[in-house]
Amino acid sequence: MTQTAQLASRKSDAVARGVATRGIYATRAENAELWDAEGRRFLDFAAGIAVNNTGHRHPRVMAAVATQAQAFTHTCFHVAPYEGYIALAERLNAATPGDFPKKTMLVTTGAEAVENAVKMARAHTGRSGVIAFSGAFHGRTLLGMALTGKVAPYKKGFGAMPPEIVHAPFPNEFHGVTEADAIAHLERLLASSVDPERVAAIIIEPVQGEGGFNIAPFSFLRALREICDRHGIVLIADEVQAGMARTGRIFGFDHSGVAPDLVTMAKGLAGGFPLSAVTGRAEIVDAPGPGGIGGTYAGNPLAVAAAHAVLDVIADEDLCARASEIGEVIRARLTQIADRQGMECIGAVRGLGAMNALELVTDRATNAPDAALTAAIVAEAEARGLILLSCGTRYNVIRLLPPLTIPMPQLQEALDILEASIEAAAMKRAA
């Protein structure tokens, strides 16, 4: 029995069934490469689901964590605060969109950041309603899955959701929802179904992650800003997956020219160490009373040290420009593939910076989803040494999330594997 098979058997016996996994058992990783228990090399186009934007084990991240570990690993910021947390809050206050006084809290996961942002909005406004969007993903906690706009696997079987959570259509012309449609529906919702004076917040991802890498039109984000200002609603940007230089700017909202009131971030913030944050208008962040927000591990010193190194790497290695360069190469290659005869299975290519995707369809006349082909391409790529992730409410989108530090030859190698995998899977389906 192989080492992978042994680990798979032990995992099946010991780990909860609901914790979904792949068949790649990692033993080591470096930048954009990962090796499994059998010694097989993979190019990693998942990056820990947009966590390792600075690559696996970036030397500056590892050095910063090692230095911090020599001082202390945990005190709990509520018990014995430390300068690193304060300094990171100052840096995030300066980095997030908006020219107004800001404050930050640090927590551990993206879902925690989202939940605390909603708590801040409710405390600030005295309201309880929240509007999210179809296709959204905001976490697996009870409130997070209520805000999430995808039933399976995130909501299925978990019973009643928290009240006063409403979903509006996300603009997606490929799926027949124009920006004008989405705005009109939201306005009707606030006029006929939901009293805007009961709505504390509207939360949106500038680029949907699990929903299929759907890009919110920048003009739509500006329209949301106007609607929120008109009704006194807090605008929350969920930048958990799109943030930290992934889209070619530090935050996805930066492309729109308007600022949200609160920004949630996690994933790429600490280069593989668990850390998240809520940053925003000081008066909103300060609305909860002392003790109302926080957590035992919130702002862990090792993760905070990693985050400082990540911010340094983003600036010093110009990873925003690098993300834009990577994205241009990926989209050009995907478009070239899609334009070839026999590749009508590729219904759409889309992306912003280094956050790119292709949507697989049975035919371009109906754009009917082809989830089976999507799964086949992911499996074919894995067999050839490339780690890919699927997503989308119709399970037919392949997302590409290479580290922003990937060497260009490895990027081209990965795209060669992707092209061969699409061809092989499409040929098998045709046969």
| pLDDT tens-digit map of 218-234 | 999 999 999 999 999 99
CA distance 259 to 253: 7
Q: Which of 52, 62, 27, 30 is nearest to 410 (CA)?
A: 30
- Copy the structure tokens of residue 2: 């192989």
Q: What is the pLDDT of residues 141-183, one digit of tens each?
A: 999 999 999 998 999 999 889 999 999 999 999 999 999 999 9
Nearby residues of 103 by Cβ (< 8 Å), 6 or more positions away:
89, 93, 279, 280, 282, 285, 286
Burial of 141 (0-12, 13-18, 19+ CB in 10 A): middle
Residue 96: CA count within 13 A, CB half-sphere: 30
Q: What percent of the chain has pLDDT over 90?
A: 97
Considering only 31-45, 152-166, 190-204, 291-305, which range has the smallest mean pLDDT? 152-166
Q: Give residue-wise pLDDT tens across range 59-105.
A: 999 999 999 999 999 999 999 999 999 999 999 999 999 999 999 99
Mean pLDDT of the chain: 97
Q: Please give the structure tokens belonging to residue 227.
A: 């609607």
Strands 276-281 and 262-265, bridge-based pairing: antiparallel
Percent of the chain with pLDDT over 70: 100
Residue 291 confidence class, pLDDT cut points 50, 70, 90 = very high
Phi, psi of 279 (to 5 degrees): -125, 140
Q: Could you read off the pLDDT of 190-249 as tens digits, one per residue?
A: 999 999 999 999 999 999 999 999 999 999 999 999 999 999 999 999 999 999 999 999
Would the pLDDT of 428 be above 90?
A: no
Is the per-residue pLDDT at 128 higher than 90? yes
> In what side-by-side order are the strands of the sheet with 389-391?
346-352, 355-360, 397-400, 389-391
Tokens of 120: 């801040």
pLDDT digits (tens, 9 = 90+) for 244-290: 999 999 999 999 999 999 999 999 999 999 999 999 999 999 999 99
Q: pTM of the prediction? A: 0.97
Mean pLDDT of 423-431: 86
Of 336, 313, 325, 334, nearest to 399 by C-alpha is: 334
Q: For the chain, which domains are there?
A: 3-57+318-430 (3.90.1150.10), 72-316 (3.40.640.10)
Assign 382 a pLDDT band (cuts: 50, 70, 90).
Answer: very high
Q: Do residues 344 and 364 touch, judged by C-beta distance below 8 A?
A: yes
Residue 192 has a pLDDT of: 95
205 contact partners, CB below 8 Å, separation of at least 6: 133, 136, 137, 211, 216, 237, 238, 239, 240, 241, 242, 252
Greatest distance between any 2 Cα atoms in the chain: 65
The answer to whether residue 431 scores a pLDDT higher than 80 is no
Query: pLDDT tens-digit profile of 327-336?
Result: 999 999 999 9
Residue 185 has pLDDT above 80, yes or no: yes
Round to whole Å and give the CA distance between 353 and 245: 8
